[in-house]
């Protein structure tokens, strides 16, 4: 009789990217690279390519909730990532669902507060920011804002690694969750991120890859952390794994048309990224 292995499950709640480089598509590819079974709840549809977002339409909130319930009823995830929700109603649906779930069972919840596309287009309706800040971030295990998103949350965009450090501490104080401030857009020779959870602070640095402009790095980074958590790693280890993964994915980017896409590096995830592997 064949013995079949059991895979951990991760859930992504995010927008669908028709260009395949970000959102749900990037998350599911990342989960697969880690040997994690990916499930999804699509919060909105985008008409999108690496150049920009052409249109966005929100999923009806009742349908979004039923997607999440369907996953939890039969495929309860070991970790959840929340990306682009877009509408105020969908933020409320997701926050209300996890407010009760997290009381009963503490599931690692990674919130990537997608507020604007790389092209600069707003992807978060104004009133939804208040729900994000007041209801969803306090439920998170980790939030992963980039510099622009930090600016929207705090009213000031960090301009240096020291300002990123201070911002991470202020965000932890305000919302009570661990914070990973992504500094990829700083004009430094290295790509520097700052992690702080109230006790442990990490500066995560990697050399920049010249000549490559990628799309979906934030989605892939947070999905990698989620997948590592689903595999049984602790938060600090998962953040380190996520940084190594996204650095390698950028370095192994490939061309699609006139653009670049993040590489998957030919991982054998069950060996390379299992819990406590130290790699």
- 120 labelled catalytic: no
- Would the pLDDT of 273 be above 70? no
> Cα-Cα-Cα-Cα dihedral of 175, 237, 182, 254, to 10°?
-140
Give me the pLDDT at residue 70, please.
97
CA gap 141, 99 in Å, rounded: 13
- 39 labelled catalytic: no
Domain boundaries, the chain: 9-272
| Beta bridge partners of residue 177, listed in sequence order | none
CA gap 14, 217 in Å, rounded: 15
Tens of pLDDT, residues 145-154: 999 999 989 9
Short-list 45, 38, 81, CA closest to 60: 45
Q: Which of 218, 231, 237, 242 is catalytic?
A: 218
What's the mean per-residue pLDDT of the chain? Answer: 87
CA gap 197, 32 in Å, rounded: 28
- 151 labelled catalytic: no
The more confidently predicted of residues 101 and 225 is 225
Tens of pLDDT, residues 22-46: 999 999 999 999 999 999 999 999 9
Q: Which of 12, 39, 214, 220 is catalytic?
A: 214
CA gap 146, 186 in Å, rounded: 10
- 157 labelled catalytic: no
123 touches 160 (CB < 8 A): no
- 214 labelled catalytic: yes
Q: Which of 217, 220, 237, 247 is catalytic?
A: 217
CA gap 176, 138 in Å, rounded: 6
Give me the pLDDT at residue 216, please.
81
226 touches 241 (CB < 8 A): no
- 12 labelled catalytic: no
Tens of pLDDT, residues 239-265: 999 999 999 888 888 777 787 778 765
Q: How confident is the model at residue 277 (pLDDT cuts 50, 70, 90)?
A: very low
259 touches 230 (CB < 8 A): no
Q: Which of 182, 237, 242, 243 is catalytic?
A: 182
CATH of domain 9-272: 3.40.1190.20
Q: Which of 44, 59, 177, 219 is catalytic?
A: 219
CA gap 44, 244 in Å, rounded: 29
Q: What is the pTM of this model?
A: 0.90
Tens of pLDDT, residues 94-126: 999 998 876 556 899 999 998 765 544 555 666
């Amino acid at each position: 009789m064949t013995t079949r292995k059991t895979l951990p499950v991760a859930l992504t709640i995010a927008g669908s990217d028709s260009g395949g480089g970000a959102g749900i598509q990037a998350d599911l590819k990342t989960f697969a690279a880690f040997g994690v079974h990916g499930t999804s709840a699509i919060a909105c549809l985008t008409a999108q390519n690496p150049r920009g977002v052409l249109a966005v339409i929100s999923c009806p909130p009742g349908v979004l909730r039923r997607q999440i319930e369907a996953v939890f009823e039969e495929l309860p995830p070991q970790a959840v990532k929340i990306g682009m929700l877009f509408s105020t109603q969908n933020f409320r649906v997701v926050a209300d669902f996890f407010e009760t779930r997290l009381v009963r069972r503490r599931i690692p919840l990674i919130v990537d507060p997608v507020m604007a596309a790389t092209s600069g287009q707003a992807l978060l309706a104004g009133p939804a920011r208040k729900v994000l800040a007041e209801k969803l971030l306090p439920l998170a295990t980790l939030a992963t804002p980039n510099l622009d998103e930090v600016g929207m949350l705090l009213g000031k965009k960090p301009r240096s690694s020291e300002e990123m450090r201070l911002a991470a501490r202020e965000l932890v104080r305000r919302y009570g969750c661990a914070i990973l401030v992504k500094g990829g857009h700083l004009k430094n020779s290295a790509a520097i991120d700052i992690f702080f959870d109230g006790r442990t602070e990490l500066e995560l640095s990697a050399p920049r890859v010249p000549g490559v402009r990628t799309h979906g790095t934030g989605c892939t980074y947070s999905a990698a952390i989620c997948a590592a958590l689903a595999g049984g790693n602790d938060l600090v280890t998962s953040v380190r794994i996520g940084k190594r993964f996204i650095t390698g994915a950028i370095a192994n980017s490939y061309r699609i048309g006139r653009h670049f896409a993040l590489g998957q590096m030919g991982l054998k995830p069950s060996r390379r990224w299992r819990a406590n592997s130290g790699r």
